[in-house]
Amino acid sequence: MNLSDYVKRRNGVPLGNSHSLRNMLNRSLGAGKFSIFWQYWNPIWGFYLGKYIFKPLKLILPQAISLLMTFIVCGFIHDLVIMLLKWKFILLLTPWFLFMGLGVILSDYAKIDYSKFPWIVRAGINIAIILGCLILAYQIRI
């Protein structure tokens, strides 16, 4: 699957469509599982993380470890950009993404599903998980 097909599948509209951002936010925030949130969030970035990080790792590691490592790499890339801009060693996004990856794995393992709730409740739950992971990351900030 190429990038254009992947984005259309995730957003419901072609790459570059004026409704891409709206659809991404609506679908990701309204997801009934935290793992589904990540299927819709930033499909362009997700395509490349899946192709170049997750899939190669999955060939040698269990799926859950591959997913967790993908989240860690994603967080580190975000941190690396900040470090380059600030010329200062900072790791905040790496642990944040680690916790979000653990959230995906643990919520899937526990079969946590809030898809029956209204969109606003689902969005609130997803935002709460993300913010909770950020708060945890701030506690161990390096």
pLDDT of residue 142: 64
pLDDT of residue 4: 93
pTM of the model: 0.93
Single out the residue of 39, 35, 3 nearest to residue 23, CA to CA: 39
- Determine the 3-state secondary structure of 42 from DSSP: coil
Q: How many domains does the chain have?
A: 1
Q: What is the domain range of residue 52?
A: 3-139
In this prediction, what percent of the chain has a pLDDT beyond 90?
95
Alpha carbons within 13 angstroms on the beta-carbon side of residue 106 total 8
**1 pLDDT band (50/70/90 cuts)?**
confident
